[in-house]
Amino acid sequence: MDKMCRWIPLPFPIFLFLILNLNLNLSFPSAAAAAEWTYYAADTDGAHYYWVESQPSPGVVRVWGHLVYSPGGRDLYIAKRKSAGMSTDGFGKVHHRNVFYELNCFSERGEYAILEILEMTKEGTRLDYAKVGTYKDWQFVPEGSTMEKLCKGACPPRRQ
């Protein structure tokens, strides 16, 4: 038997605890970081906040966006999900959305890619989760949008 690779049997409760914690906690800001959300805009969807996670290279920023839905924004979002044929089970309790973005701060028009999306209840229950693969779908930042405000807040100042 190869001594380099062995399976260590774990009691089921420990195994389940490890799987759940690895699955839920790897990609979301810690509670300490979440307390440092920076407000940047409000619209019909709700109040928008952000937290800069990292700057993997010059001109590129990875940032968590945090939208706390307004009652009307929540209703509009549920209606959009229904019209797209997506599940709305439990979405009457949706409280906020966390989106992990990568921002290209060097681009003249501004570009962003969505890496992850989490839909959550106020109590922290995850209702939906999506993560992109290795391909990033870069989009231009629309003028006058909340995304433009996010880029202005999260991107470092440009050198002249």
pLDDT tens-digit readout, 111-141: 999 999 999 999 999 999 999 887 889 999 9
22 occurs within a structural domain: no
Q: In total, how many domains does the chain have?
A: 1
Helix (H) or strand (E) segment spanning residue 15: helix 12-25
Assign residue 128 the CATH number of its domain. 2.40.128.710
26 occurs within a structural domain: no
The residue range of the domain holding 107 is 36-154
Task: Give the closest residue to 130 by CA, choosing from 142, 118, 146.
Answer: 118
Question: Mapping DSSP to helix (H, G, I), strand (E, B) and coil, where does residue 36 land?
Answer: coil
Rounded Cα gap, residues 18 and 20, in angstroms: 6
pTM: 0.76
pLDDT tens-digit readout, 65-95: 999 999 999 999 999 999 999 999 999 999 9
How many other C-beta atoms can be found within 10 angstroms of the C-beta atom of residue 65?
22
